[in-house]
Copies of this chain bind each other. A is one copy, B any other.
């Protein structure tokens, strides 16, 4: 995928293009999709090392002189480093533009925001579609298994690279929330505040099941070819496009709520051309999912989908500890946890229980459940409650001793 593709094609399921005016657009002026390389081999949890790991990232705002105003933002499953503002020529801004910018919750007049693409993804950081220097071909399934711990290790290496020792805060939703929580355990002295939204410390059986169906849809697609569908020239052959589209459709249903979906589409049918196939798509909701599935195959790598869904399925913050509370024993003192009432993929109960574990560990957890009909996707949409909770939490950190 070209650098341009990485920038222009971004996940933003909740927002339609075309609803922005030119005045809304604040263009990225600072670091835009910079790629940094690990200073030496990068070790993965599974044991293997990569000779080099590239990490693509963007920054917004300015780092202050004592490097105390940096906030790291972690992305969800299929997003990337382009978290905010606009790239020239794009139809939409970064995936959390509603939250990051001048005067916004993550105020770029005040904070230096860093957003990096996770290893294993396909938006600039090294992943299964990257060329293995040892073979000259894409890694495919030779890429090491990825964990959420590996993701935050890469984030920490980037911090080293930027010369930043302690972050003002880390924040993320969904898989990004898992990284925020893992960062608190892996690097307890490198962040003052932890913000996790619409997330969990480990998947339950249903969350695993939905991801497994997606993986099976990809792997049973004859185009997958055991992960070797990339020809190594940098171009993509069709690959498991059908399977990846099905995986995305399943995922997309879980990102919305029953009520939100019904308000948006109801049982409306679209006009369709005469067809010999009576099962051609007619319901608008089906047409929407079909569009989401098809466009996803143009912007995302199927092997990356396998690696990243497996990372969040196997994630367990308490792994290696006798309890979640013990895992958090050394964590930073301040947590903000936000959930959404209609999020049935990451139901509020999960982070509510994490809040209790944080408190049992002698830390402070602010837990907020926001009323919304937009399901899991709520955290990506403009929401004043979310903005206020984050802004308030960041302000309160200022009064904390470092």
Instruction: List residues of chain A with CB under 8 Å of any chain B CB.
Output: 141, 145, 202-206, 208-210, 212-213, 215-217, 219-222, 226-227, 242, 245-246, 249-250, 253, 256, 258, 261-262, 264-267, 276-279, 281, 283, 285-286, 289-290, 293, 306, 310, 313, 316, 344, 347
- Please, which residues of chain B bring their CB within 8 A of the CB of A205? 258, 261-262, 264-267, 283, 285
Name which residue of chain B comes closest to A303, CB basis.
B279
What 5 pairs across the A-B complex have the smallest Cβ distances?
Answer: A212-B286, A220-B242, A205-B261, A205-B285, A206-B258
Once the chains bind, are B289 and A213 in contact (CB under 8 Å)? Answer: yes
Chain B residues within an 8 Å CB radius of A306: 279
Are the CB atoms of B216 and A249 closer together than 8 Å?
Answer: yes
Pairs A–B under 8 Å by Cβ, sample size 25 = A141-B279, A204-B267, A205-B258, A205-B264, A205-B265, A206-B253, A206-B256, A206-B258, A208-B286, A209-B253, A210-B253, A212-B281, A212-B283, A212-B289, A213-B249, A213-B250, A213-B289, A216-B293, A217-B217, A219-B279, A221-B242, A222-B222, A226-B276, A250-B250, A283-B313
B209 touches A278 (CB 8 A): no
Question: For residue A213, which residue of chain B has the nearest CB?
Answer: B249
Q: Number of copies of this chain in the oligomer?
A: 2
Please determine whether A204 and B258 come into contact, CB atoms closer than 8 angstroms: yes
Contacts of A226 in B (CB 8 A): 276-277
Tell me how far the C-beta of A397 lies from the nearest C-beta in chain B, rounded to whole angstroms: 34
Q: Which chain B residues lie closer than 8 Å to A212 at the CB level?
A: 249, 281, 283, 285-286, 289-290
Please, which residues of chain B bring their CB within 8 A of the CB of A258? 204-206, 344, 347
A289 touches B344 (CB 8 A): no
B217 near A246 (CB under 8 angstroms)?
yes
Nearest-CB distance from A13 to chain B (Å)?
14
Beyond A209-B285, A212-B285, A216-B246, 13 extra complex contacts between A and B, CB < 8 Å: A141-B278, A203-B267, A204-B261, A204-B267, A205-B262, A206-B256, A212-B289, A216-B293, A217-B246, A219-B279, A246-B246, A283-B313, A344-B344
Contacts of A278 in B (CB 8 A): 141, 145, 310
Q: Please give, as numbers and ranges, the residues of chain B lying within 8 Å of A222 by CB-CB distance.
A: 222
CB–CB A277/B141 < 8 A: yes
Bound state CA distance, A205 and B283, in angstroms? 9
- Of A215, A249, A276, the most chain B CB neighbours within 10 A belong to A249
Distance from A214 Cβ to chain B, minimum over Cβ atoms (Å): 9
Q: Once the chains are docked, how many angstroms separate the CA of A164 from the CA of B226?
A: 58
Residues of B within 8 A of A286 (CB): 208-209, 212
**Inter-chain contact A246/B261, CB cutoff 8 Å:** no
Chain B residues, Cβ within 8 Å of A145: 278
* Neighbour of A204 across the interface among B206, B262, B316, CB < 8 A: B262
Which B residue sits closest to A217, measured CB to CB? B246
Taking a contact as CB atoms under 8 Å apart, the answer to whether A261 and B206 are in contact is: yes
Q: Is B206 touching A220 in the complex (CB atoms < 8 A)?
A: no
Residue numbers in B under 8 Å from A246 (CB-CB): 213, 216-217, 220, 246
Q: A258: nearest residue on chain B (CB-CB)? A: B206
**Closest residue to A310 on the B side, CB-wise?**
B279
CA distance A242 to B226 in the complex (A): 15
Closest Cβ–Cβ distance, residue A200 to chain B (whole Å): 12
B residues near A217, Cβ cutoff 8 Å: 217, 246
Nearest-CB distance from A111 to chain B (Å)?
37
In Å, the complex CA distance between A268 and B67 comes to: 44
